[in-house]
Structures are given as structure tokens and as C-alpha cells.
A and B are shown apart, each in its own frame.
Chain A
Amino acid sequence: MLMSKVEFNKETGPREVFCGLTSIVWLHRRMPDAFFLVVGSRTCAHLIQSAAGVMIFAEPRFGTAILEEKDLAGLADAHEELDRVVNDLIARRPEIKTLFLVGSCPSEVIKLDLATVAEKLNKRFLGQVRFVNYSGSGIETTFTQGEDGALKALIPLMESSNEEKLLLVGTLANNVEDRFKKIFRNLGISNIESFPPRQSTELPKIGKNTKVLLTQPYLSDTVRDLKHRGCEIISAPFPLGIEGSTKWFLAAAKAFKISELKFHEIISPLINRAKLALEAHKEILKGKKLFLLPESQLEISLARFLHNECEMDLIEVGTPYLNKDLMKEEINLLPDNTKIVEGQHVEKQLDRVRESNPDLVVCGMGLANPLEAEGISTKWSIEMVFSPIHGIDQAADLAGLFSKPLRRNQILTTKTLATH
């Protein structure tokens, strides 16, 4: 491994990040036949509805079985109570095919055994609804890590097959997924599936001829379990920006023994077009100082893109946790002396933000307006997980997320019309 040039730091202290429950917001949209039932507290329910864009427009496919005093005091058997809630829910939503029982901080602390509950429910609702469980608790998981838990929980349900296929792992926006599949077919890879699938019941089959290509950098546990099932993991940077996406496609092409000629024939026109589209954003981002606070786990890939392709200067790259193995291809592409900080002490980190006088800070929603009020431009990281940002074609859109706050700032501070 070639990582010595990058400076690694660890920090502990008060953190300002979402917990894994937040990932339900995009997972439930990805799989419209699934329901996510958090077993937790009013805080969990409030968190998800607040993170899900403040208001829900219809009856949502996620909910919380809120623990009450009698559940904790042992007056009611929590397992029986959960049983009752699930029965009500399934009666109300008969179209649900998969029900995720999602553990939370309080359910983990009182050691509620959701695996046993899921097992019992699976027997009772055999052929109607499948139950899986995972933890999205904030004492164990950070934000996007919730997806890692949900996907890992689905792996035991995946049948085995030795058919050769490319498996894209990690939630993508549907239009990006379609685009990727088309490009892979053009390259000559025809058997492509996605995990998570668009229907929770249509899980891909996996085995020793499954070649896994990760679309997201936060899937450590999923990767480990896929390896155990014999899957081959294709090592690549992540498909953010032109460089990352090109190397990502190339890694897959190599794994499927696609000729280099073919690869360039298909990919080069995309690269040229994307570079053209990126120019306007680069003009704005070039030479600007960037500070990334830890949250989405996409920070390292974003830093690589914004430096290598948009010529931004990296002050600090925060990441909630660091899996050096999974991130090695990304880290190798970072410029020398990049300062990576794993973990967080939010107060000390904000001190460093102020000292370093950055042009743009990538941060969570709780911190954005206070920093703006101090005159520091920001971009909220949660937008990265809701926007179609992956792939060569989306590189300019991705850059646009960062150039827009700077452009806006410029518009608002420049006087273009004479005052009378």
C-alpha cells in the first residue's frame, strides 16, 4: 500500500453526525415494497421525520415502534408488544413484502433481541412477508452505515449461483443506475444486477463468479459478507467525478477482460463531454480552500474529486471512520500531505475551520447556517446522498453542488445595478 504521503489523524470528543437510522430515508425509496420499522424511542421517530425533509407527504413506509415505560419496566413483554405492532402494521399495509426491524440506541441498550423476533415472525408470515433485522443505532453506526447494516441483513436471503455477473453494490439513484447499466452493456458486460434491487423480493443471486463493484464507500460489513459468499470484490476508487468513475469502469472492464481499445472507444467520448461540462464549475472552484467535516463517509472521494478535477485546495478531510482497506484506491489518488481526520471533536474542529479561513465547508445541516452567519460558505453533506452524483455524466452536476454556494455568494455580494 502506498499511503505514507497522506497524514492520518484521529480525534475523539463530541460529534455532530446523524446515526444510521437516517439511511432509511433513501433505502425505503429505493425499495418501494419494503417497510422499515424502527424499534426505538420518540427521538428516533422525530429524527427520521426531521431528516426526511421536515414533512412527509403521505403515509410513509417507515415508522417507529416507540418503547414506553411499561415496555422498559417489564410490565409488558417487549417481544409480545412488538408482535402486536407488527400484526397491526401488516394488516394496514398488506402490500409490504419485506419488513426491516431496525434496532436503535435504546433497543440495543436494553438488549431487545430483534433477530429472534424476526425469526419467529418469518415462520408466522411465511410466504407473505419476510423479516430481517439490523441495527441503525447511533451508538454503533454513523449515518450512511445504516445502509451497510440493511444490506448485510439481506445477504443471507440471497440464493447462490455460479453464473458470471457484475453486481453493483450500494444504493444509486435510479437514473444513474440505468445509465451505468447501459454503459456496461456497451462495454460488453451484459449480466449486471444491483444490490439493493428496486424490489426487495428480487434479490440477486450470488456466488464465486459474482464480481462486486462498490458504488458507495460505506459498505465494509456488506463487503465482508459478500466475500464470505465467494464473491470477488473489484478494487477501484468510487464512481464520483470523471477520474473516479473512469477508473471504476476500467476496473470492471479489466475484471471482465474487456479490451482496452473497446474501453476507450466507449468511455473516451463520455470523458471528453464531461470535461467540457465541468469547465464552468472548475472556473469557480479553482484555488478555493475546502474543509470537509465528517458525516456522509463520502468525504475522501469528494476531496479527491474536488482537488484533482476542480483544483480546490484541501485544508482538512474529516471522515466519521476510516476503513483503510476499502479506501486505499481513493487515498492513493489524494495529493501529498492531505490531512485526513478520523472521528471528531466538533468544537475543536470548528476552531480549525475558523482559523483556516476556508472558502467552502462541507458539513451537516445543523452547522450550515451558523457557519454561513459567520461568513463561511457551506454545502450540506446530506445532499450528496439524495442527489444523482455518481458517474462520468454527473461529474459536472456534482461539481455544481459545490460551485453553487460560491456563485450565490458572489451574486449577493456584487453590486451589478446602480442604485438611484
Chain B
Amino acid sequence: MELTLWTYEGPPHIGAMRIASSMKDIHYVLHAPQGDTYADLLFTMIERRGQRPPVTYTTFQARDLGGDTAELVKKNIKEAVERFKPKTLLVGESCTAELIQDQPGALAKGMGFNIPIVNLELPAYSKKENWGASETFYQLTRTLLKEKVSSSKKISPLRWKELGRRPKVNILGPSLLGFRCRDDVIEIQRILSEQGIDTNVVAPLGASPNDIERLIDAEINICLYQEIAEASCEWLKRNFGMEYTSTIPIGIKNTIEFINEVHNKLDLPLTNKEELEHKSKLPWYSKSVDSNYLTGKRVFIFGDGTHAIAAAKIAKDELGFEVVGLGTYSREMARQLRATAKDLNVEALITNNYLEVEDAMKKAAPELVLGTQMERHSAKRLGIPCSVISTPMHVQDVPARYSPQMGWEGANVIFDDWVHPLMMGLEEHLIDMFKHDFEFVDGHQSHLGHTATKTKDLINSYDKKDNNPKKGIIWTESGRAELTKVPFFVRGKVKTNTEKYAVLKGIPEISDETLYDAKAYFS
């Protein structure tokens, strides 16, 4: 039993719903009690969908348990098939139905429908949402393509040459409730098309079962989000020989590497290599002089595996930040994230507990947090600027404007989204610096609102926030005065270091000189 106050991922059947809702001509009969229908609002409210998810919930009740819940399942399946006329039916159960073992998938298969039926077994007590999405997409792909396995010969990435046409690829992984998937797909298709590569199928987002059957018309697969598509890509590789990409095109360097990887696999010459560096404004914006202040900014990163790893690379290599914390809630991608963390010389944080993330954030004393909506809240409490880079989805993460994370435009979006909160941080510093000037209007509101630390109660507030206030150390008048002169975004760090130094050296009172001694000691 695990105490959970809030969770980054829902149960696995929510993952299945993400696949079903992303696609056309599919219906999902979910053996579940009435409360599970809350999941519809994730799609209709958060993602602002104008259609209901294609899901029929059997909504069994306690009084049904004594009788025949299997009959109830069959009735719902029959009605759903008659009403919605899906081309493929997904059948599964949520946590409670798993316990009563009606085996709805097997029941559905015995009902004599002439459509493919995918029996989803998603263990609700050990797995989570992304796993459920991945497994559903895999089972669906397998069900719709398994008959073609023996008759097909291995697909060569060079087949397009024999066929005398442009190379074709599939883009696999984008789904509803995935971070900026809608726009990433457009961006990636644009990039591929510029390189003379056609998109065969995008799936699951917008695909129909017929499209899944057509996957093998492409030469290779683009695995855009490993959390969702890697299992399917691997199956397609094993059974049809289709190769798939492993680079996630987030950030300039990764986008270029991605383009190279695709070209290498397809044996397609890359003609516009030099142009690629200039496709996005990020490299120049990052090089321009006023970005100098970004150098060595301490950044804490937490999110799903794909976005957290990508963010760490961009932060370090493209913006010149210092990564002081890196973590993910995607256990499936823990190994990869650990490797990245090792390269960056930070400890990887793999957890589903947001309070642990908040603690790590506090200890790392970052100047910028890149996280989920939950980290945005934690950062707000700590007075640290934050930008959201990952699911779980919030209505704000589905902007009206075009704002991908991937490709050239994605890099532009990332530059703006990460740097603007920091500029606000700089503004904060200026407000702090000039507030003693007579022109300064009292009550000038900073963007951090009331959570911004006021200088006068700085030491007190830091004492309150600190988990382990250094007992027995006194800040003298001059020490306090000097501390207030330190920019607010490093003040916490300076205070902690100075106290650490005082303890180390057995200094009972911290004066202005102690601050400078500590600064020299730790530099």
C-alpha cells in the first residue's frame, strides 16, 4: 500500500483511453463502475475536446455483483457496437472490474462480431498511465497487423529507391493528453517534407484502424515519444524489419541529429546541412550578448522521461545553464535518465512523489525550475521562476497558438518559455535594487506577487523555510545588511553557504566579512 496525495500519472486504463480517443473509428468498452466516468473530463475539459471520448463504461453497481455482471458486459458491448459501428473494438477493465474477473475481452470475442477485437489486460495495481497507453497501442498494432507478418518480407529502409518514389515514414507516439503533441506532429512533418520525405501515417493521433494496417507501407518509423510508441516500434522491427529512430528532436542539436539519423537510415543524402543551423532563432538568441546573463544559471528539471532528458541537454548545451537537478516520474525511462544525469554529474531523481521533488528542488536552490504543473506550484511557493515542460496535462498546456516543443519552431518556443521567467527574475532583482530610490513607488507589484521575499523579513522567512535552520548562529547587523545586497535569486544559496562556513570554522556571529570569507572559501 502506498500513500499518494497526488499522482503524476493516472491508472493504465486512462492510457488506453488516450489511444482510443486519439483515433478514429475505434470504440473502447470499459468494464468499470460509474465513478470512472470522471476520465471523460480529462479530454473534454483539459484538452477542450468537442467530442466525447469513444468509451462505453459498463457502470456496474454493487447490486449487480450478486447477479451476472458478465451479461451486463455483453449487453454494453452489443449496444456500443450497434450504436457506434467501430471498425475495431477495444475491450478492457479498470481496477475494480479486474478484481471480479469477468474477462470482458474474451466475452467480446465470443459474440460473433466481424470486426477486430483487442483484448486489453492492463494490470491496474502495478502499472500506470503511460504504460497503459504504450501497451494499448502495441496490442492494437499487433492485432491489426499480425496476419500480414508471415506473408511480408522484411522491409528495407532503402525500399523507396526500388519503388522509385520519395521515402515514406510513420510518425508514432503522439496522442491526446501528451505534451504539445498536436503541434509537434505538424513541425516534424514540415521538417521531413522539406527533406523530401513523406509521412505515411501519424498514429495514434488522428489515425484509423485502416491507417494502422497501412503502417507497413512506410520504410521506417519515427518514434516520437518512447513512452507511448517504443513497444510498437520494436514489434514492427522484429516482425517486419522496420527500423525506427531513437533521437527525440527537441532542441537544435537533437533536431539536427534526428534529421541525420533519418537520412542515414534511409540512405538519403542530406543536401542542406549548412542551412539547418539557421532554421531556428535559438542559436543566435542564445549567442546574442544579452543572453550572457543566462550563463551558469542553476536549473532544476523534472518531468516525463522524454521531455526531462531533452530539457537537460538543451539547458546545458544550447543555453549554457548549469543543471543542478534532474528527475522523472517515468520509471520506464529511468535508466536513460540516469545516464544523462551521470553525464551532468547530478543525482537522478526517480519518483512519483511530488513532495520528494519539492524537497530536492529546495536543496538544489535553483534559479529556474523546468517541471510539470506541480513543480510550477512548488516553485511558486519557493519564489523560483518556472516553466512547464511536461505532462500531466493542464488546460494551460493546450494553448490556442501554435507552440510545439520539437523541431525549429519548438526550439524558438523553448527559448521564449524558459528565458522569459528568468527575465522576470532579473526584473525582480532590479525592483529589489532600486526600491530605495525615491522614484520607486511603494507597493510595486512583482510578478511573483506575494510570494516574493521581502528584504526586511528575509532572514526570518528563510529561517522558516529552512528545514534545518543552523542553531546557535547569530547574524549581526552588518551581516544582515550585506545579505540584503545579494541578488534575491542567489540569496538563499549565499545564506546557506555562509552558515555552513560559519559552522565549519566555528564562527558564532556572521558579519559582512564572514560573507566574503565564505564566498572566497566556496568559490
Q: Which residues of A contact B (CB under 8 A)?
A: 13-22, 40-47, 49-51, 54-60, 62-69, 71-72, 76, 78, 81-82, 84-85, 88-89, 105-106, 108-110, 137-140, 142, 347, 364-370, 372-373
Q: Tell whether, in the assembled complex, residue A43 and residue B36 are in contact, meaning their CB atoms are under 8 Å apart.
A: yes
The complex places the Cα of A104 from the Cα of B374 at a distance, in Å, of 26
A400 nearest CB across to chain B (Å): 21
Q: Which of A54, A82, A369 has a CB less than 8 Å from the CB of B50? A: A369
Q: Tell whether, in the assembled complex, residue A66 and residue B96 are in contact, meaning their CB atoms are under 8 Å apart.
A: no
> Counting CB contacts under 8 A, is B461 at the interface?
no
The complex places the Cα of A17 from the Cα of B39 at a distance, in Å, of 11
The complex places the Cα of A63 from the Cα of B125 at a distance, in Å, of 17
Q: Which chain B residues lie closer than 8 Å to A373 at the CB level?
A: 50-51
Q: Tell whether, in the assembled complex, residue A57 and residue B377 are in contact, meaning their CB atoms are under 8 Å apart.
A: yes
Q: Tell whether, in the assembled complex, residue B374 and residue A55 are in contact, meaning their CB atoms are under 8 Å apart.
A: yes
> Counting CB contacts under 8 A, is B61 at the interface?
yes
Q: Which chain B residues lie closer than 8 Å to A347 at the CB level?
A: 56, 79, 83
Q: Which of B4, B124, B381 has a CB less than 8 Å from the CB of A58? A: B381
- B residues 73-95 in Cβ contact with A at 8 Å: 76, 79, 83, 94-95
> Counting CB contacts under 8 A, is B480 at the interface?
no
Q: Which of B1, B38, B95 has a CB less than 8 Å from the CB of A78? A: B1
> Counting CB contacts under 8 A, is B128 at the interface?
yes
Q: Tell whether, in the assembled complex, residue A68 and residue B2 are in contact, meaning their CB atoms are under 8 Å apart.
A: yes
Q: Tell whether, in the assembled complex, residue B33 and residue A139 are in contact, meaning their CB atoms are under 8 Å apart.
A: yes
The complex places the Cα of A364 from the Cα of B46 at a distance, in Å, of 14
Q: Tell whether, in the assembled complex, residue B5 and residue A60 are in contact, meaning their CB atoms are under 8 Å apart.
A: yes
Q: Which chain A residues lie closer than 8 Å to B46 at the CB level?
A: 54
The complex places the Cα of A45 from the Cα of B5 at a distance, in Å, of 7
The complex places the Cα of A68 from the Cα of B98 at a distance, in Å, of 13
Residue of A15, A60, A369, A373 most packed against chain B (CB within 10 A): A369
A370 nearest CB across to chain B (Å): 5
Q: Tell whether, in the assembled complex, residue B34 and residue A43 are in contact, meaning their CB atoms are under 8 Å apart.
A: no
Interface string of B387-406 (1 = CB under 8 A from A): 00000001100000000000
Interface string of B21-44 (1 = CB under 8 A from A): 000000000000111111111101
Q: Tell whether, in the assembled complex, residue A369 and residue B49 are in contact, meaning their CB atoms are under 8 Å apart.
A: yes
> Counting CB contacts under 8 A, is B65 at the interface?
yes
The complex places the Cα of A139 from the Cα of B45 at a distance, in Å, of 25
A363 nearest CB across to chain B (Å): 11
Q: Tell whether, in the assembled complex, residue B11 and residue A43 are in contact, meaning their CB atoms are under 8 Å apart.
A: yes
Q: Tell whether, in the assembled complex, residue A372 and residue B50 are in contact, meaning their CB atoms are under 8 Å apart.
A: yes
Q: Tell whether, in the assembled complex, residue A105 and residue B95 are in contact, meaning their CB atoms are under 8 Å apart.
A: yes
Q: Which chain B residues lie closer than 8 Å to A105 at the CB level?
A: 33, 35, 95-96
The complex places the Cα of A51 from the Cα of B1 at a distance, in Å, of 23
Given A42-B7, A369-B44, 15 other A-B residues pairs in contact with their CB atoms under 8 A? A15-B57, A18-B34, A19-B33, A42-B4, A43-B11, A43-B13, A43-B36, A49-B6, A66-B1, A85-B2, A105-B96, A139-B65, A142-B34, A366-B40, A373-B51
**Chain B count of residues within 8 A CB distance of the other chain:** 58
Q: Tell whether, in the assembled complex, residue B394 and residue A54 are in contact, meaning their CB atoms are under 8 Å apart.
A: yes
B59 nearest CB across to chain A (Å): 4
Q: Which chain A residues lie closer than 8 Å to B50 at the CB level?
A: 369-370, 372-373
A186 nearest CB across to chain B (Å): 38
Question: Who on chain A is nearest to B57 by CB?
Answer: A14
Q: Tell whether, in the assembled complex, residue A55 and residue B10 are in contact, meaning their CB atoms are under 8 Å apart.
A: no
Q: Tell whether, in the assembled complex, residue A369 and residue B125 are in contact, meaning their CB atoms are under 8 Å apart.
A: no
Question: Who on chain B is nearest to A368 by CB?
Answer: B44
Q: Which chain B residues lie closer than 8 Å to A108 at the CB level?
A: 62
The complex places the Cα of A49 from the Cα of B125 at a distance, in Å, of 18
The complex places the Cα of A66 from the Cα of B60 at a distance, in Å, of 22
Q: Which chain B residues lie closer than 8 Å to A15 at the CB level?
A: 34, 37, 57, 59
Q: Which chain B residues lie closer than 8 Å to A40 at the CB level?
A: 95
Q: Tell whether, in the assembled complex, residue B125 and residue A88 are in contact, meaning their CB atoms are under 8 Å apart.
A: no
The contact sample of 17 A-B pairs, CB cut-off 8 A, is: A17-B37, A22-B38, A43-B13, A46-B7, A60-B5, A60-B6, A88-B3, A89-B3, A106-B96, A138-B33, A138-B34, A347-B79, A365-B45, A366-B39, A369-B48, A369-B50, A370-B44
Q: Tell whether, in the assembled complex, residue A110 and residue B52 are in contact, meaning their CB atoms are under 8 Å apart.
A: no
The complex places the Cα of A89 from the Cα of B355 at a distance, in Å, of 13
Residue of B37, B48, B57, B61 most packed against chain A (CB within 10 A): B37
Q: Tell whether, in the assembled complex, residue B1 and residue A68 are in contact, meaning their CB atoms are under 8 Å apart.
A: yes
> Counting CB contacts under 8 A, is B504 at the interface?
no
Q: Tell whether, in the assembled complex, residue B124 and residue A85 are in contact, meaning their CB atoms are under 8 Å apart.
A: no
A340 nearest CB across to chain B (Å): 19
The complex places the Cα of A108 from the Cα of B2 at a distance, in Å, of 18
Q: Tell whether, in the assembled complex, residue B100 and residue A109 are in contact, meaning their CB atoms are under 8 Å apart.
A: yes
Q: Which chain B residues lie closer than 8 Å to A65 at the CB level?
A: 1-4
Q: Which chain A residues lie closer than 8 Å to B123 at the CB level?
A: 69
Q: Tell whether, in the assembled complex, residue B6 and residue A369 are in contact, meaning their CB atoms are under 8 Å apart.
A: no
The complex places the Cα of A50 from the Cα of B100 at a distance, in Å, of 26
